[in-house]
Copies of this chain bind each other. A is one copy, B any other.
Amino acid sequence: MGKKKKIKKLKARIKKLKSALKAATTHTHKVAPLAPPSFPDLPVIEGVRFAAAEAGVKYQGRLDVMLAVCDPGTSIAGVFTRSATRSANVLDCQDKIGSDATGGAAIIVNSGNSNAFTGRAGEGSVKAISEAVSKATGVPENRVYSASTGVIGVRLPHDRITAKLDELNAGLDPAALDLAARAIMTTDTFPKGAAAEVSIDGKPVKIAGIAKGSGMIAPDMATMLVYIFTDAEVEQHVLQGMLGNLTDMTFNNITVDSDTSTSDTLILAATGASGVKVTDKTDPFRDALHGVMLDLAHQVVRDGEGATKFVEVRVTGAASDKDARTHALAIANSPLIKTAIAGEDPNWGRVVMAIGKSGAQADRDQITIRFGDILVAEKGWVAESYREEDGAAYMKQDELVIDVDLGLGQGDATVWTCDLTHGYIQINADYRS
């Protein structure tokens, strides 16, 4: 690259960083109280480059499109919403998972418009964007993975995105994942990133990921988008299997309000640039990936609409893992429990209620409930040692653990959620579209 071209590129990057910085310091909404102190330093993942642009899809003066281009040979795995009304982008991505990796891969995401429930026009937009990305980047069209997030039921002005592709392609930079994290935000109150580095057979392997969700302003949906990149070398079917299993332990176990988006998308790209081969037996890699996914999943909950408490619900002793998860989700999604938590009320009776209604197996007299380390209820009644003051003091913390043992078997599950506050109502009811 010539010096002149390089300077131009660096200047363009500076301009975008300034724009992102400006957006970051002129929040219309305050940053969520549970937000981490700062965005992490993400390592460069060899074999993938990023760019972000202001396309004005809906918002003006902010990054709203990201492009990632992965080198030839990159394995792509993906998991998607199971919604029966999923968006055109999701259906298209699902078709493209498992396609030939020779030509590399590209990921294109816009915020401001979800392209969901836009009829046949939605499919046309996906096609137009995929074609344009293919043309600009040289990546085959069947390796272009798109996602859209934002208002639903409004035709996506995809020309605004395709008009930016040459600029995006020219600006591709291995270090720009942080800008990508900002470009995919809708009403998130903070950008979400996580990374890990792990040594396998003495060689370093890196993982870095970004996510968005689940902040929202009517009439958008709390779409969750997650993109994770690694320089490990992993066969596609191994990567897909690993991603599916780890999703069940992370993103599928978080809930803000029990409502599922039509656009949820998680894509994991393994470039292979490290030259380190990873199989389904490579535990250190799997553990590191698990850590990155859990970190991102927790950040999504921490940015839950109106959230003031981060809550881990642990269920053990269930008849099966499935039963444990059913109980855990019944607790995590109960409006009565979520409002009690918001009110810092150690209302264990509502936990008993949620266990009872979940439909999974339970025996009143075998249930043990703890708030953190405090034994609250056992043997079908409040514990003799329990003092309401202790429970009330515990509930004042920002991070809470509700621990239920059913005393029936070996099944366990952990899910994460937040409380249900006036903030949630305000975000979703008070502001008209």
Contacts and interface: CB of A to CB of B under 8 A. Distances in A.
Given A83-B356, A257-B336, A364-B117, A431 B343 contact: yes
Nearest to A382: B153
A429 interface: yes
A149 to B, nearest CB: 13
Contacts of A299: none
A219 B421 CA distance: 17
Contacts of A424: 335, 339, 425
Identical copies of this chain, number: 2
A380 B221 contact: no
Q: Please classify the interface of chain A as helix (H, G, I), strand (E, B), loop, or mixed, using the class held by over half of its residues.
A: loop
A352 B425 contact: no
A394 to B, nearest CB: 14
Interface stretch (A71-79, A259-267, A280-288): A259-267
Interface string A303-322: 00000000000000000000
12 contacts: A85-B352, A118-B381, A119-B379, A121-B381, A153-B348, A219-B350, A221-B349, A259-B357, A335-B424, A340-B428, A340-B429, A343-B432
Q: Which 7 A-B pairs have the closest CB atoms?
A: A85-B356, A83-B356, A343-B429, A119-B381, A260-B357, A339-B428, A152-B349
Given A340-B428, A340-B429, A343-B429, 18 more contacts: A85-B356, A118-B380, A119-B379, A119-B380, A218-B340, A218-B347, A222-B336, A258-B333, A259-B334, A259-B335, A259-B354, A339-B424, A342-B429, A392-B432, A420-B429, A421-B425, A421-B429, A422-B425
